Structure 1
Amino acid sequence: MGMADDYFLLVCDDVPHDVVLTDPGIRVLDVAQVVRRLTGLSLWRSKVLATQVPALILDGVHRADAGAAATNLRAAGALAQVRAQPEPDFLKP
């Protein structure tokens, strides 16, 4: 059996997490500025993203980074959630 026939599973301490904006609140421009800092998008695109909820702001980041991002969004007046990404199908029994 060659190396190409072997499958390896890397076990990580931290599964990828997503940051989801569920409500921009009343301070949409403040939230859009936070989205801009987190994503690198233009302010206009950040505002559009912030108003189309639920919006995936960050995809597949470490839990600590996701928590910090959600805290920043909440500080700006938004409602945001940190969600663990689902386990891939090939890992399910």
Structure 2
Amino acid sequence: MDSIRYYIVQVDNRYYQGEIDLLTFTDDEEQAFAFTDIVVANQLANEVNGIVLTREVSYQELEDLSEHYLVEYEAMPKEERDAIGSFCRELSIGMFE
């Protein structure tokens, strides 16, 4: 497998993005929340009267994006990097509770 399959939920011409800035939907597919579990994606789609779209991203594309974002991350002020690190640690801990 040279790619990862993921799912997004579309409602009309918008995509579910979660609760970002009090908005639940976006017009930009690339800002949509990516589900890795089709069952969960289908559950949400049923709740919001949407449909599930299947997408794939190659490992190479992910690697290229990671390198790009690492450069951006390293250019951030230390306070912002620390805030991101703290958020990621809390997120990791929350996943295992």
Shorter-normalised TM range: 0.3 to 0.5
Q: TM-score, normalised by structure 2?
A: 0.37
Larger radius of gyration: 1
Which structure shows the higher helix fraction?
2
Which structure shows the higher strand fraction?
2
Structure showing greater relative contact order (alpha-carbon pairs closer than 8 Å, 6 or more residues apart): 1
